[in-house]
């Protein structure tokens, strides 16, 4: 019976990471449906990628919400790994228009209600996900940034948020990775090839921990995406406190 040679027993070497010869990218992850959360988190850890995680209390594939008790361990682990965090609002509703000079309309995207927020209410909406995070991971690195659901802002929302200490962070022109798109028209291999061809130094990349409407989970190619960008000479870093 054949036996394995000595070097067959040796552990596999970790892949060498690049020295940022092509530049630095900022990966940002919004909460989303959470279906591929553990898969994506494992890929980030294997590739030694640190991202900025925008938090909202959204419904998840588990039947709960993303900042509920069952997710505490997940967020605690991400904080321990060195990811940064920022606000994505608490309810993940949409800012749909200004009311006067000091209020903003905030609407459930499924038409199940809307409110008019003043400065105090907007501050509370942006602060609540961060307060929930700090309750479970006091050591988490939190940035004074926020991202409006869908990227939809209004002048009042931006101004009131800035007055509360939150500066808006969107994503760059080539940074939309497409995980919200229909997977029949935009299958994973197309999105992967598109990102590898288009991404440039300094891009702010956007993806989610899973998107409910997407039949082919984008999480299946996240590690290929990270590895491909690293092979091109890019490295990853959380956003700076002032945003990018």
pTM for the structure as a whole: 0.90
- Residues 65/33, Cβ–Cβ less than 8 Å: no
- Alpha-carbon distance of 46 to 225, in angstroms, equals 13
User: Each residue of 128-149: pLDDT tens digit?
Assistant: 999 999 999 999 999 999 999 9
Kindly state the average pLDDT of the residues 184-213.
Answer: 98
E-state strands within the chain: 23-30, 52-55, 84-87, 94-99, 103-107, 114-117, 141-146, 167-168, 204-208, 234-236
E strand or H helix at 237: none
Q: Say which CATH topology domain 20-236 has.
A: TIM Barrel (3.20.20)
Q: Can you give the residue ranges of every domain in the chain?
A: 20-236
User: Each residue of 172-188: pLDDT tens digit?
Assistant: 989 999 999 999 999 99
In DSSP notation, 150-179 reads: GG---HHHHHHHHHTT-EE----TTTB--T
Look at residue 3 and tell me whether its pLDDT is greater than 50.
Answer: no
Helix axes 37-46, 72-81, angle to 10 degrees: 10
What is the predicted pLDDT for the residue at 5?
A: 40
């Amino acid at each position: 019976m054949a036996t394995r040679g000595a070097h067959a027993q040796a552990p596999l070497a970790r892949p060498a990471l690049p020295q940022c010869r092509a530049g630095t990218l900022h990966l940002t992850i919004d909460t989303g449906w959470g279906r591929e959360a553990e898969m994506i988190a494992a890929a980030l850890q294997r590739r030694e990628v640190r991202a900025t995680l925008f938090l909202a209390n959204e419904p998840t594939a588990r039947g709960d919400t993303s900042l509920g008790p069952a997710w505490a361990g997940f967020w605690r682990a991400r904080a321990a790994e060195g990811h940064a965090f920022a606000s994505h609002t608490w309810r993940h509703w949409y800012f749909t228009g200004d009311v006067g000079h000091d209020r903003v309309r905030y609407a459930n995207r499924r038409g199940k209600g809307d409110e008019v927020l003043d400065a105090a209410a907007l501050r509370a909406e942006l602060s609540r996900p961060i307060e929930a995070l700090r309750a479970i991971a006091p050591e988490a690195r939190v940035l004074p940034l926020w991202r409006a659901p869908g990227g939809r802002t209004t002048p009042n929302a931006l101004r009131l948020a800035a007055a509360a200490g939150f500066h808006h962070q969107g994503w760059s022109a080539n940074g939309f990775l497409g995980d919200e798109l229909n997977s029949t028209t935009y299958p994973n291999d197309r999105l992967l090839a598109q990102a590898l061809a288009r991404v440039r130094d300094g891009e702010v990349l956007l993806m989610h921990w899973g998107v409910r409407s997407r039949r082919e989970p984008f999480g299946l190619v996240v590690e290929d995406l990270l590895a491909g960008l690293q092979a091109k000479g890019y490295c990853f870093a959380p956003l700076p406190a002032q945003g990018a």
